[in-house]
């Protein structure tokens, strides 16, 4: 299974979300998380750009290393390869759907069960470290819930495939 996180520049929210989700899946060990590939892209990304300094530093505070991350632009190919696409904002969801992701694309907060008005994750780009810390905390909160839903849905799909 391939999970794609989408934000704007692919240097703040989606790389942090991908790193957090990888950790959450690793913590699950053999309970279904090891076969989930987690990637990210941006609707207006500059290919090859590193994670923003704020994202990099806040991730390090939590024991995550974003130094290998390189931004990539959202493409029809990336959307086609993904089984599940989680956008940080409504416009990210709309763009992924326009590229063929309808039915597989959700607002991250909505996927985690938040009401529509609480579904988006704000962009910390250009803000101070406290803004990045707030974004990290919000992502962590949503992803702890999202990983449980992902595993339930993934288990259901695998069971259907066995029949």
Residue 103, by phi and psi: left (phi above 0), alpha (psi -120 to 50) or beta?
A: left
Please tell me the total count of domains within the chain.
Answer: 1
Q: Which residue did the predictor score with more confidence, 75 or 118?
A: 75
d(CA 128, CA 160): 47
* Rounded Cα gap, residues 122 and 150, in angstroms: 22
At residue 44, the pLDDT reads: 98
pLDDT > 50? residue 163? no
pLDDT in tens, 5-61: 999 999 999 999 999 999 999 998 755 567 999 999 999 999 999 999 999 999 999
CA pair distance 22, 24, nearest whole angstrom? 5
Q: Say if residues 3 and 41 touch (Cβ distance below 8 Å).
A: no
* Residue 126 phi, psi (nearest 5): 85, -5
Positions marked catalytic:
7, 13, 123
CATH number for the domain including 50?
3.40.50.2300
Task: Domain of residue 36: give its range.
Answer: 2-162
pTM to 2 decimal places: 0.94
Summarised one tens digit per residue, pLDDT across range 51-94 is: 999 999 999 999 999 999 999 999 999 999 999 999 999 999 99
With left for phi above 0 and alpha for psi between -120 and 50, is residue 64 left, alpha or beta?
A: beta
First vs last C-alpha separation in the chain: 19
Q: Which of these, 1, 75, 91, 81, lies nearest to 41 by C-alpha position?
A: 75
């Amino acid at each position: 299974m391939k999970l794609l996180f989408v934000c704007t520049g692919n240097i703040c929210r989606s790389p942090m979300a991908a790193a957090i989700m990888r950790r959450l899946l690793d913590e699950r060990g053999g309970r279904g998380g090891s076969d989930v590939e987690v990637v990210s892209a941006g609707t207006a990304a500059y290919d090859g750009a590193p994670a923003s300094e704020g994202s990099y530093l806040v991730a390090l505070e939590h024991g995550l290393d974003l130094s290998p991350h390189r931004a990539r632009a959202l493409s029809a190919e990336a959307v086609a390869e993904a089984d599940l696409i989680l956008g940080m904002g409504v416009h990210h969801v709309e763009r992924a759907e326009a590229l063929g992701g309808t039915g597989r694309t959700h607002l991250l907060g909505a996927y985690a069960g938040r009401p529509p008005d609480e579904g988006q994750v704000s962009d910390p780009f250009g803000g101070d470290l406290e803004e990045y810390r707030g974004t990290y905390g919000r992502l962590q909160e949503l992803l702890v819930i999202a990983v449980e839903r992902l595993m339930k849905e993934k288990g259901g799909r695998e069971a259907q495939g066995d029949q």
